[in-house]
Amino acid sequence: MNGLTLSLLAALLATNPPLAVSNLVAQQTGVHLNITNPNDPVEREYSKLIEDDDAALAEAERWMHENDALAAKGGGVPQTTLGLRIEQRLKPIRAEYEDFLRRHPNHVKARLAFGSFLEETHDEEGAVAQWEKARELDPKDPAAWNNLANYYGHRGPVTNAFVYYQKAIEIDSNEPVYLQNLATTVFLFRKDAEAFYHLGEQQVFDRALELYTQALKLKPHSFVLASDLAETYYGIKPTRFADAFRAWEYALKIASNDIEREGARIHLARFKTMEGKFDDARRQLNTVTNVLYAELKRRMLTNIDLREKRAAGTNAPAAPPALPPPAGPRLPAVPSR
């Protein structure tokens, strides 16, 4: 949807009922909008359900953190006891979802939200059943396709993940998370991607990088997305140093705090070391001052010295890696709603 359409939509919403706006937009543009009326009693009940869900999960997470802190000091309760407490806290939320869906079985958003609740409470089969029902009710809802793709990316067959992410992208090409998720899956499951897309290894790398780049264009200030893209270069052989430097320099440029900035410099130093540019690596590390990176910085400087001596032909022992290289970007996460 372009900017003009969005402007018209805003004007229409100001003076027309949501359903009328949705019908008009569909007639004029072919785009079907899932607009809900916040004054609808069903939607108010759904909003309350989501608030209850969020509050319960947040409280359960707080209990876990508090118990971990107490356990570190020799206190806390056994995990089984905590698990039962959390189960009792979440049980009414599950019942609330089930009651709502008995009365409103075609409510797609509630199906999606219940699926996410079940996934977070480790009922994957239940989650998949809800997402499949949501997809059946509204095949044009990209979230259902994306959430199912996440499941198949973790549990297999991974080819389903490729298909379902692509479907989510076709429905909503302006949502960066779908592009990011497909990029990560293509990168992590390269052999499967080679067979599925009929591509060579380097072409699969290119495909993953292309998807990350498209996502970053849609969300250019996301450090997480920029670093996910940059981390792919650890897995690409032969190493594409120039591209890796550009990717980490961009991440450095958009970093929002010292932790992110110095983390990007750590990665730049690692690639400089790998390329044999030892002085450049030291210059990057000299800007790292946060105590969080102190031990890592020390080990990396030692590693640089050893590698430099080896490169000069001395009898220095073989240098260890600066730190264990990342396995690549994180597995895609399921959006909560």
Which stretches of 123-200 are DSSP H helices?
124-137, 142-155, 158-171, 176-188, 190-197
Instruction: Output the pLDDT for position 40.
Output: 83
Provide φ and ψ at 276, rounded to 5°: 90, 15
The chain-wide mean pLDDT, for the chain, equals 86
| Predicted confidence (pLDDT) at residue 9 exceeds the cutoff of 70 | no
Instruction: Output the pLDDT for position 205.
Output: 96
Residues 215, 176: Cα–Cα separation, whole Å? 4
Residues 239, 205: Cα–Cα separation, whole Å? 11
Whether the CB-CB separation of 36 and 18 falls below 8 Å is answered with yes
Residue 157 preceded by cis peptide, ω within 30? yes
Confidence bin at 312 (pLDDT 50/70/90):
confident
Instruction: Output the pLDDT for position 311.
Output: 86
| Predicted confidence (pLDDT) at residue 313 exceeds the cutoff of 80 | no
**Burial per residue of 2-29, b for 16 or more beta-carbon CB atoms within 10 angstroms, e otherwise:** eeeeeebbeebeeeeebeebbeebeeee
Instruction: Output the pLDDT for position 140.
Output: 96
| Predicted confidence (pLDDT) at residue 324 exceeds the cutoff of 80 | no
**Burial per residue of 125-161, b for 16 or more beta-carbon CB atoms within 10 angstroms, e otherwise:** ebbbebbbbbbeebeebbbbbbbbbbbbbeeeebeeb
Collapsed DSSP state (helix, strand, coil) of residue 88:
helix
Confidence bin at 29 (pLDDT 50/70/90):
very low
Instruction: Output the pLDDT for position 315.
Output: 54
Average pLDDT over residues 188-194: 96
| Predicted confidence (pLDDT) at residue 7 exceeds the cutoff of 60 | no
